[in-house]
């Protein structure tokens, strides 16, 4: 049987700054979700609030990309 690691206590909150200048919308959304879920931290535990915050700068400059068939 495998043991599951669960973080105990309150996790340390972190603030992340994401620059949206000429980034595609899908990749930007994936990167933000990655930070909000805390998957970039070694203490990542599914279903546990990790306390991360994301600030997006240059949000008016992201790109929509489209594949043409």
DSSP 12-63: PPEEEEEE-TT-BHHHHHHHHHHHHHTTTSTT--TTS---EEEEEESGGG-B
Average pLDDT over residues 14-25: 90
Residue 43 lies in a domain: yes
The pLDDT of residue 15 is 92
Residue 63 lies in a domain: yes
* H/E segment holding residue 66: none
Average pLDDT over residues 12-36: 89
Residue 33 lies in a domain: yes
Domain interval for residue 23? 16-47+59-69
Q: How far is CA 61 from CA 1, 27, 65, in A?
A: 49, 14, 13
pLDDT tens digit sequence for 25-63: 888 999 999 988 888 887 777 777 777 899 999 988 888
Residue 11: DSSP 8-state: P
The pLDDT of residue 69 is 64
Residue 10 lies in a domain: no
Residue 11 lies in a domain: no
Based on the structure, what is the number of domains in the chain?
1
- Evaluate the CA torsion angle 49, 55, 59, 63 in order and state its sign: negative
Specify the pTM. Answer: 0.74
Is the pLDDT at 11 greater than 70, yes or no? no
């Amino acid at each position: 049987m495998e043991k599951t690691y669960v973080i105990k206590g309150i996790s340390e909150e972190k603030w992340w700054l994401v620059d949206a200048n000429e980034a595609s919308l899908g990749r930007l959304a994936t990167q933000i979700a990655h930070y909000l879920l805390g998957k970039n931290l070694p203490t990542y535990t599914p279903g546990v609030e990790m306390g991360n915050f994301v600030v997006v700068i240059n949000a008016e400059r992201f790109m929509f990309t489209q594949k043409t068939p």
